[in-house]
Amino acid sequence: MATTKTAKARTSYVCTECGWTSPKWLGQCRECRAWGTLEEFVEPAPGGIGSPGRVPVAAAAVRPAVAARPIAEVSAEEARARPTGVGELDRVLGGGVVPGAVALLAGEPGVGKSTLLLDVAAKAAATSRERGQGPVLYVTGEESASQVRLRAERIGAIDPALLLAAETELGALLGHVQDAAPSLLVVDSIQTIASAQVEGGAGGVTQVRAVASALIQVAKERAIPVLLVGHVTKDGGIAGPRVLEHLVDVVCQFEGDRHARLRLLRAVKNRYGPTDEVGCFDLGERGIVGLADPSGLFLSAARSEVPGTCATVTLEGRRPMPVEIQALVAGTAAGSPRRTTSGVDHSRVAMALAVLAARLRVDTSTTDVYVSTVGGARAVEPATDLAVAIAVVSAAQNLPTPPGLVAFGEVGLTGEVRATVGVQRRLAEAARLGFDRAIVPLAGSEELRDVDGMRVLPVAHLSEAIGAALPRS
């Protein structure tokens, strides 16, 4: 009689950096080229009895618990976004958190993820208490409850409806959810939670996948919005298997220089709202505060005429952001002049210097050139080329730009000023901040609407822009 064999579990190796799968262990991932990142992942054995590799039998049909209904009869109220009390976060999420939605917030260590979500939890707890809803449950796996309490006191995030639990085991976390019946669940972070029913340590591929699946199931069954904190890799990507980003409903990136106060929140994926909104936050000693108008961080407080400055307006998604470009041209003491940039694209600055030298005879080959933004802002889109060029010429010729001037446009290698997107929104934001003169590309300017208090100067070539910005040059 033939011996019956049971199907064996299949073992594969998954890269913790990019999620690439290999049937055998390798020292280097062939997808992202990272070393030592492949971890063992044991897939469950296929159902049924037979020889290995047998295709499992399809699941039998069962009667659904809820019959299918016409889409017009399905209520949309359960999927309405609820404000969290933090306006900038609601802007990025599309109005607030959706019941049953799972959002992943990723960012570098020290950027302020825990501080932001603790403030969100406290404000949401106050709102839930006023409306008679359930409390907010904050689960921390990286810090003790006492450490979180100290941070809450510092930022003013104490509320009787905010429950705090320090857990690293998935079963205990689900028990807290069952007992508290929260209206919002915050988990900091998903890489610190592990399940006793799954092999591997916390943060591994198998554990992260299992924990995320369990939390998503609880969120959908109980209609609880869940906010997860995720770690990032050395390249800035979200740590863990790539499938984690596909499982959750919303993926947000929290960015910012740890030496600056500005923090930006971007939605990389959002099933319930736009992905081109940006939230601005100011991280200080007393916590994190949303900035509905961040112009104070990006523009210099000095209003005197100083050579080497030019304001521009960048677009972060759909949001116009004012940025001041500063340039300094100084004599060099070394044989090779320096080109130092901060907050701007280094390659585009080098291209602007080459265009100035070839087309306008502004030679900086024997001088050091420093180009920077104010307040740690990032101005890397091509529309900032014109402001960079004007700032450099202003510094090189020691001619200050007139007050109230703003410029935006892409500069080509032949010196032409190319059209850019969102000119109307940039002009409206500049006028709101008090700027009264704008240098814009000639292409597309005929479609612009008049902006009160703003004089628009369309230019087709870089030489025209320099003449309009520095009339004495």
Annotated binding site: 107-114
Could you tell me which residues are beta bridge partners of residue 371? Answer: 327, 341
**Is residue 471 within 8 Å of residue 393, measured between CB atoms?**
no
Strands 405-407 and 437-441: parallel
Q: Which value, to the nearest 10 degrees, does the dihedral of the CA atoms of residues 160, 182, 112, 289 take?
A: -60
> Cα(174)–Cα(361) distance, rounded to whole angstroms?
69
- SS3 labels along 33-47: CCECCEEEEEECCCC
Could you tell me which residues are beta bridge partners of residue 300? Answer: none
DSSP 219: H
Burial of 21 (0-12, 13-18, 19+ CB in 10 A): middle
**Is residue 139 within 8 Å of residue 172, measured between CB atoms?**
no
> Cα(249)–Cα(90) distance, rounded to whole angstroms?
15
Peptide bond connecting 189 to the previous residue in cis, omega within 30 degrees of 0: yes
**Backbone dihedral region of 96: left (phi > 0), alpha (psi from -120 to 50 degrees) or beta?**
left
Residue with tokens 């990142």: 37
Angle formed by the axes of helices 145-155 and 113-131, to 10°?
A: 80
**Is residue 377 within 8 Å of residue 255, measured between CB atoms?**
no
The arrangement of strands across the sheet holding 455-459 comes to 339-342, 367-373, 319-331, 309-316, 405-407, 437-441, 455-459
**Backbone dihedral region of 128: left (phi > 0), alpha (psi from -120 to 50 degrees) or beta?**
alpha
**197 Cβ contact partners less than 8 Å away, ≥ 6 residues apart:** 210
Q: Residue ranges for the binding site for ATP?
A: 107-114
**Is residue 459 within 8 Å of residue 441, measured between CB atoms?**
yes
Residue 236: how many other CB atoms lie within 10 Å? 11
Burial of 289 (0-12, 13-18, 19+ CB in 10 A): middle
